[in-house]
């Protein structure tokens, strides 16, 4: 075994050990693949559709017929290059994000995790339709950096700013620059500590009535943990498939 493989194996063993201790003690943890598969299998398309409409109607105070129109307008397909196959938000969650962003009054948007840019394209499409607002997206430096956001049409790029992170996390700086935001989407590194760090940081800059959303909320307990900690500041929200959102109290 090479030195690198050995140290990687050792790191995994330590992480698994810590996760096991957390589970035994009932502390927050990253979910196992089996738990995630069981959660995903339990959700049918029609259940998700029902949840999407009812939750977004209630949380954003938008008439049901309007929310249904938003959902019907969601993109039906996205052609992703081979670079990002398997790393792009699927149609079910894209439809939820599209419906949510249409129902929220947002201008200053921030997201982490761009890849092909399915989520970015959805947010930008709505900003462009309204002719106001901008999106700042953060991703990390990699050989694929030149391809980030490939799904974003040229016509929508005027409202988009891509920030590439090298060593230091960029999120604190971006939020500080914007001072206040209307919408935050986490879709970067889905591990408990990182998700919680992004949620808590973004929440501090989210204006009252703003929306914090996250993809892949079923990967860890961070989204539920966040609710337990901030429930007195949360007006409404919940989970639809693998997308969760919380609306901040006014």
Cβ-Cβ contacts under 8 Å for 13 (sequence gap 6 or more): none
Mind giving me the DSSP string for 77-134? -----GGGTTSS--HHHHHHHHHHHHHS--SEEEEE--TT-HHHHHHHHHHHHHT--E
Between 182 and 198, name the residue whose CB sits nearer to ligand SAM.
Answer: 198
Secondary structure of residue 152 in the 3-state scheme: coil
Question: Cβ 138 to ligand SAM, closest distance in Å?
Answer: 5
Question: Cβ 78 to ligand SAM, closest distance in Å?
Answer: 8
Cβ-Cβ contacts under 8 Å for 243 (sequence gap 6 or more): 93, 96, 97, 100, 213, 214, 215, 217
Integer Cα distance of 247 and 240 in angstroms: 14
Query: Quick one: which of 59, 60, 117, 202 contacts ligand SAM (CB under 6 A)?
Result: 117
Integer Cα distance of 123 and 120 in angstroms: 5
Between 154 and 167, name the residue whose CB sits nearer to ligand SAM.
Answer: 167
Q: Is 89 in the site for ligand SAM (CB under 6 A)?
A: yes
The tokens describing 22, both together, are: 């957390």
Q: Is 57 in the site for ligand SAM (CB under 6 A)?
A: no
Binding mask 158-177 for ligand SAM (x = CB under 6 A): -------x------------
Question: Cβ 84 to ligand SAM, closest distance in Å?
Answer: 7
Integer Cα distance of 38 and 31 in angstroms: 11
Stretch that binds ligand SAM, among 35-43, 54-62, 116-124, 224-232 (CB under 6 A): 116-124
Question: Cβ 89 to ligand SAM, closest distance in Å?
Answer: 3
The tokens describing 150, both together, are: 């490939």
Binding mask 176-215 for ligand SAM (x = CB under 6 A): -----------xxx--------------------------
Question: Cβ 98 to ligand SAM, closest distance in Å?
Answer: 11
Cβ-Cβ contacts under 8 Å for 218 (sequence gap 6 or more): 31, 36, 39, 40, 239, 242
Question: Cβ 231 to ligand SAM, closest distance in Å?
Answer: 27
Residues of the shown chain interacting with ligand SAM in the complex, contacts defined by CB under 6 A: 87-89, 112-119, 138-140, 142, 165, 187-189
């Amino acid at each position: 075994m090479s030195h690198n493989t050995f140290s990687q194996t050792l790191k995994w063993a330590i992480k698994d050990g810590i996760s096991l201790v957390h589970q035994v003690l009932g502390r927050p943890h990253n979910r196992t693949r089996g738990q995630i598969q069981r959660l995903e299998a339990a959700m049918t398309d029609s259940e998700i559709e029902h949840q999407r409409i009812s939750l977004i109607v209630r949380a954003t105070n938008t008439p049901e017929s309007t929310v249904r129109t938003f959902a019907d307008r969601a993109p039906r397909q996205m052609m992703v290059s081979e670079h990002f196959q398997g790393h792009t938000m699927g149609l079910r969650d894209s439809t939820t994000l599209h419906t949510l962003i249409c129902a929220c009054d947002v201008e200053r948007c921030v997201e982490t995790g761009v890849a092909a840019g399915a989520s970015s394209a959805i947010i930008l499409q709505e900003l462009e339709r309204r002719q106001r607002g901008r999106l700042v997206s953060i991703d990390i430096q990699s050989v694929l950096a030149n391809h980030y956001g490939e799904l974003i049409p040229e016509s929508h790029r005027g409202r988009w700013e891509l920030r590439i992170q090298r060593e230091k996390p960029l999120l604190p700086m971006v939020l500080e620059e914007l001072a206040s935001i209307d919408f935050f989407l986490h879709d970067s590194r889905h591990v408990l500590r990182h998700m919680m760090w992004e949620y808590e940081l973004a929440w501090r800059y989210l204006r009252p009535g703003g929306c914090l959303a996250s993809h892949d909320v079923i990967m860890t307990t961070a989204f539920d943990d966040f609710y337990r900690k901030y429930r007195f500041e949360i007006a409404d929200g919940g989970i639809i498939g693998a997308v969760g959102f919380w609306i901040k109290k006014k």
